[in-house]
Amino acid sequence: MADRTAQGANNKPIIEEIHHRDSQVYICLVVNRRHKSARIVDFLAGNFPQKQAAIQALSVREGIERVYTLVEREESTGWAKAGYAREGSIPGYYKRSDAHVMGHLVHQPPKVDEEGNLIAPTADAVRAEKLINQAKKLKDGLAVVRGAKTELMDVRQLDALRSAFKGKKGAPPPLDDCFGRTGTRVHMVARDPKKAVEQFVAAEVQDCFGNAYLQLGSVPTAEGDARLTVTLLQSIAEELKGREVASAFTYAPVHDTLLGAALLGAGFKKTGLLARHLIAGGKRADSVLWTKKLMATAADADAA
């Protein structure tokens, strides 16, 4: 897709997979140069110090400022000892279990404590709680847009959308930033015919696990935009349920209270706070992990 292969000032793809393999470590970094971050996909258990040494070297080389990984509970302790913070969870991510988000900020040289241990990042939880309370107050005023139309978009429509932005100020909606290495792409648009306003969302569906990562094409800047975002998020949730997707998730800058209100209005819940996870307004920002359980899973049956 265009957003995967577009190049920045350093002539490297915005989205890229970088692999490292030796006798003890086999990892893949799913790099997002838009946010100078990378998700770690780990193929071998254990050897956490060796993994972190490889990740540190790759991150410094590629200009990555934030790395994170998703693991099951038993793996989280090893990552914590390697300087990663337990920042949140995605319910039902692995069908029979939740995914735990482990995050780390890259510094050169690495930040360590008096005993030489890597220091895990911390987000501003107090500020985040205040901002989310503000979003909760805004939520009640964000009813769905009556008369709004939602529809799935095919490849031809996506190409037309991107072509429409050529030559115009700004960039096309970044609808194809990767969360994982694979996944089925589902795109949807919502239109408010009265105001000629559109909002887009892309879902990266992991069929093997039954989860979906959501990426909005733009953030709402006014109440009307936020109401259309609520409409779109509710519609994509219903579409995903029809595809037997059990869990949907996304993340957003913690200071964007209007977007937070829209996500709350669409039934999402805060299940994590990620330290300096995104670049917003040219600066690294703490981000809320928002999740929505769409249907019961085997994990729910096991817990009953």
Condensed to tens digits (0 to 9), the pLDDT of residues 249-265 reads 999 999 999 999 999 99
List the structure tokens of 199: 């909002």
CATH code where residue 16 lies? 3.40.630.30
Please compute the mean of the pLDDT values over residues 18-47 and round it to a whole number: 95
pLDDT at 62: 97
245 and 205, same structural domain?
Answer: yes
Is 64 in contact with 29 (CB distance < 8 Å)?
yes
224 and 207, same structural domain?
Answer: yes
Condensed to tens digits (0 to 9), the pLDDT of residues 169-201 reads 666 777 889 898 889 999 999 999 888 789 999
Confidence of residue 134 (pLDDT cuts 50, 70, 90): very high
Please compute the mean of the pLDDT values over residues 157-161 and round it to a whole number: 88
23 and 69, same structural domain?
Answer: yes
pLDDT at 10: 65
149 and 104, same structural domain?
Answer: no
Which residue segment(s) compose the domain that 267 sits in? 126-303
Please compute the mean of the pLDDT values over residues 146-167 and round it to a whole number: 87
Give the span between the Cα atoms of 250 and 263, in whole angstroms. 9
Query: In 46-151, where does DSSP find H-type helix?
Result: 48-62, 73-81, 125-139
Percent of the chain with pLDDT over 90: 76
User: Domain ends where: 79, 97, 121?
Assistant: 121
296 and 165, same structural domain?
Answer: yes
5-14, 129-138, 172-181: range with highest mean pLDDT:
129-138
Give the span between the Cα atoms of 265 and 12, in whole angstroms. 38
β-pairing, 211-216 vs 247-253, is parallel
Confidence of residue 168 (pLDDT cuts 50, 70, 90): low
137 and 109, same structural domain?
Answer: no
154 and 295, same structural domain?
Answer: yes
User: Domain ends where: 98, 121, 144?
Assistant: 121
178 and 53, same structural domain?
Answer: no
pLDDT at 176: 86
Q: What mean pLDDT is reported for the chain?
A: 91
Does residue 53 surpass a pLDDT of 60?
A: yes
pLDDT at 2: 35
pLDDT at 84: 97
20 vs 167, more confident: 20
| Number of structural domains the chain divides into | 2
269 and 156, same structural domain?
Answer: yes
Is 14 in contact with 3 (CB distance < 8 Å)?
yes
Confidence of residue 162 (pLDDT cuts 50, 70, 90): confident
Confidence of residue 304 (pLDDT cuts 50, 70, 90): low
pLDDT at 3: 42
User: Which amino acid, one-letter code, is at 55?
Assistant: I
- Of 195, 164, 159, the residue nearest 175 (C-alpha): 159
155 and 299, same structural domain?
Answer: yes
131 and 274, same structural domain?
Answer: yes
pLDDT at 163: 82
What is the pTM for the complete model shown? 0.92
Confidence of residue 14 (pLDDT cuts 50, 70, 90): very high
Condensed to tens digits (0 to 9), the pLDDT of residues 60-93 reads 999 999 999 999 988 999 999 999 999 999 999 9
pLDDT at 164: 80
DSSP code, position 23: S
> 273 CB contacts (<8 Å, ≥6 apart)?
87, 88, 123, 125, 128, 254, 286, 287, 288, 289
Classified as helix, coil or strand, 226 is helix
292 and 147, same structural domain?
Answer: yes
pLDDT at 96: 82
List the structure tokens of 130: 């205040």
Confidence of residue 26 (pLDDT cuts 50, 70, 90): very high
Q: Which residue, chain included where needed, has tokens 């769905």? A: 144
